[in-house]
Amino acid sequence: MKKLGENAHPFYFELPPQQSPASVTLQPGANDGGKPCGVDYELKTYVADQADGKTHKRSTVTLAIRKLTYAPEEPGPQPTAEVTKEFRMSAGTLRLEASLDKEKYYHGESIAVNLLVDNNTGKTAKKSSNLSSTSG
């Protein structure tokens, strides 16, 4: 602290662990407009003659802070969702199941969704759509 001068004052700052989400930035896709959206933190300090004094740009310092969350490599259950639909005037059900191949994904990883369609209605499905989304 000596080399910073007599007006340098040490301080400590901590983000509350449970109340503050981890930093993340969502980049817009190729067909999206606008700027990236996300959670970031800034610590802004300034020098003034009084505590409620006017801040000037030349006496203000801003430090960007990124809060990271550690995710251990323990395998967990793969997320799965299922829906069953019965139709009037038709026997049987239509079941759709979607699952991911793992519980956690990291930035930049591709996410593959496995779909299972179990059509026990005796009718032919006339419409089907395939949704594919990539970002990068």
pLDDT in tens, 30-66: 787 778 788 888 888 887 777 787 888 888 888 888 7
- Residue 81 has a pLDDT of 92
Those residues of the chain that have pLDDT short of 50 are 136
- Cβ-based burial of 122 (10 A; exposed 0-12, middle 13-18, buried ≥19): exposed
77: closest CA among 47, 98, 102?
Answer: 102
Identify the pLDDT of residue 132.
61
pTM score, whole prediction: 0.46
